Structure 1
Amino acid sequence: MNDFDGMRALVTGGASGIGRATAELLAGRGARVAVLDLDPSTVDKPLLAYAADVTDDASVREAIAAAVTDLGGQGVLDVLVNNAGIGAQGTVEDNDDAEWHRVLDVNVVGMVRCTRAALPHLRASSRAAIVNTCSIAATAGLPQRALYSASKGAVQSLTLAMAADHVREGIRVNCVNPGTVDTPWIARLLDAADDPAAERAALRARQPTGRLVTPAEVAGAIAHLASPLSGATTGTVLAVDGGMHGLRLRPAARP
């Protein structure tokens, strides 16, 4: 597919995991793509790479301005993928105020900063789309994820509000809600578990497909929402979770 031919896209948190898979997929489908990340040193051509901290407004504005210039198109940006985010574990008792502020600053306000800086360039596009990376944690009560779930619940609500605010400007806004994705963050959680193999098996079993979601599968959903072929789709929450949000399977029969 070349549905992104001639388009310019920017992916935050694009140096690894879901962000990297998304950036490479968009480039493979014809877009010129810029990646923003705290450490973009591993990003290779044809992707353009910029260092940025989404908790620093000046850093975000500087990086996005440079990216839009280098992408060409006289200040036009067609796609923004707000993917930068961090995880958190624990109940409401387990994280202090500083950690709550830190996670919300990255996962929610960081998304606001990136969108705010990109909006003037998106308004100049006739095919503008924003896709936010949310999570199954926004809609399902998961143990030991109070802070993370609160941040992703905010992202889902923010997505719908943004869609309403900007639909008449021709900017579509949607989000993807991945289940448990086989990313470096999940790998670190598994490594820290008392029994990594048992923990991985439990995460697989939690999803009806019986396996973890791949970054490429989430990237495919993001590309679907960002594509001009989805021009009538806005204010949509797309689950990419192996059926976790909607399926209630009976226990498998024992052999």
Structure 2
Amino acid sequence: MTQANYLWNPPPVYSLPVRGIEARYPVNRIFCVGRNYHAHAVEMGVPVDKANAQPFYFTKGVATLVESGATVPYPTGTSNYHYEMELVVAIGAPGFRVAEADAASLIYGYAAGLDMTRRDLQLVAREQGRPWDLGKDFELSAICAEIVPVGNLGVLEKGAINLAVNGQTRQSADLSQLIWSIPELIADLSKFYHLQPGDLIYTGTPEGVGAVKSGDKLVGHIDNVGDIELTIGAAE
């Protein structure tokens, strides 16, 4: 086969470490679930009634991915830079139109994640009925810790999820408070996409989101999954 000749080097493969093995998890796509904890939906001014609603999603490009422990610059274009602590589901098998009962077979593992958000830009877009891209899909905005293989964990239905900023707890909830469970999310998302190994699903954030500034250190934890850390650097 003739080797392709590109005008410049193609983008690198983005990947994450996997606990207990040397091989890394290559990331394909990043899906994020909006308003998946009742209290967070309320604090955002858009309460959710599951009986009359469906999950909704936005995406982040793989180039937004950053490993836990990094220092990222305070982003341009915002004065209201927010954290959102989340459980991340790592997909390890292909699936399309998956039944909820079969959703667990697609899960490779879990990770702790941060969906960093330019909140002011997101809210302007929301008020004007425009896409959230400037508020959500920007450089260095998808932070993720190592992938923990599912092993005996099965489908996570409960467990503490929390985040501290400079040692002060800002978010504290339980995975049992997810509006749509992990199987429900996988089944629903697979109606619209052919899910593939390497897809990440950020499952939503609890209440307590807030702004950070340069110099702040974020430390998050999810029971049975692990920790995540991020430091906010100076603006570029």
Q: TM-score, normalised by structure 2?
A: 0.29
Q: TM-score, normalised by structure 1?
A: 0.27
Q: Flag the structure with more relative contact order, 1 or 2, with Cα contacts below 8 A and sequence separation at least 6.
A: 2
